[in-house]
């Protein structure tokens, strides 16, 4: 079944409403959230950021000065804390050395140049880079997590063997590249994947269930 991003977006916003506006977060907190959000629920990210705030880790410099063990403990609520701790340290050093610690200066960089710089950092992959570009820098791109891709593959909108670049191409130009809609679209897709499109799908109450192929959700062996 052919379906447009506009229709999917309409169904998601009808089912969930628009997600909370995160404009109350500082640019630095948004950047931290981009790293912590990998395979984590929003509340887990909120709890980890609250932990960092309570510890007065409010700048790249203060985070970079933390010991690895202390940082890992502070962000434990977001899961996979050792890996995310390493990524946060890398991002903090990058900000300090490239932009004198200023997230605002970083986001003023062109989309192509900033993506190239982020991908050159050890441990920063395309999804994290694109998440930073969309959610922090407000650039019109789309980070495609494995579970968002799973939604689209099960509906037969993406080939099962589509890699990250192919998945992102599918989202290129979605919603007329309107960042104000791309942000909630990405958040709501991630939510529906967590609520319904799990390793074992729960399609019965899913807002996208009537868009499934006639034979039901397509399946492969998921890692």
pLDDT in tens, 15-67: 999 988 766 788 999 999 999 988 888 889 999 999 999 999 989 999 999 99
Question: Domain residue spans in the chain?
Answer: 5-19+142-211, 27-135
The pLDDT of residue 43 is: 87
Q: 27-135 is classed in which CATH architecture?
A: Orthogonal Bundle (1.10)
Which residues contact residue 132 at a Cβ distance below 8 angstroms, ignoring those fewer than 6 apart? 31, 34, 114, 118
Tens-place pLDDT, residues 145-194: 999 999 999 999 999 999 999 999 999 999 999 999 999 999 999 999 99
* pLDDT score of 223 more than 80: no
The rounded percent of the chain whose pLDDT value lies above 90 is 84
The pLDDT of residue 72 is: 96
**Distance set, CA 55 to CA 36, 62, 64, 68, 79 (Å):** 17, 10, 13, 14, 18
Mean pLDDT of the region 142-146: 94
Q: What is the mean pLDDT of the chain?
A: 92
Residue 122 confidence class, pLDDT cut points 50, 70, 90: very high
Q: What is the CATH number of domain 5-19+142-211?
A: 1.10.1670.10
Buried b (16+ CB within 10 A) or exposed e, 61-94: eebbebeeeebbebbbbbbebeebbbbbbbbbeb
- Picking from 23, 157, 168, the residue whose alpha carbon sits closest to that of residue 33 is 23
How far apart, in whole angstroms, are the C-alpha atoms of residue 70 and residue 85? Answer: 9
The pLDDT of residue 94 is: 97
């Amino acid at each position: 079944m052919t379906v447009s991003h506009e229709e999917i977006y309409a169904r998601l916003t009808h089912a969930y409403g628009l997600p909370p506006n995160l404009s109350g977060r500082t640019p630095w907190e948004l950047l931290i959230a981009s790293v912590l959000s990998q395979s984590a629920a929003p509340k887990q990210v909120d709890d980890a950021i609250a932990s960092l705030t309570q510890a007065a880790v409010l700048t790249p410099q203060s985070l970079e000065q933390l010991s690895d063990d202390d940082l890992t403990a502070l962000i434990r609520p977001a899961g996979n804390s050792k890996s995310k701790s390493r990524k946060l340290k890398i991002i903090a050093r990058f900000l300090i050395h490239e932009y004198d610690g200023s997230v605002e200066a970083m986001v003023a960089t062109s989309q192509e140049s900033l993506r190239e710089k982020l991908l050159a950092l050890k441990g920063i992959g395309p999804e994290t880079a694109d998440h930073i570009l969309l959610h922090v820098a407000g650039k019109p791109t789309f980070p495609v997590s494995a579970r968002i891709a799973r939604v689209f593959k099960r509906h037969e909108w993406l080939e099962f063997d589509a890699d990250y670049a192919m998945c992102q191409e599918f989202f290129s130009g979605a919603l007329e590249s309107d960042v104000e809609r791309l942000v909630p679209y990405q958040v709501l897709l991630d939510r529906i994947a967590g609520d319904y499109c799990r390793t074992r799908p729960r399609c019965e109450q899913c807002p996208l269930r009537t868009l499934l192929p006639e034979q039901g959700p397509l399946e492969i062996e998921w890692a």
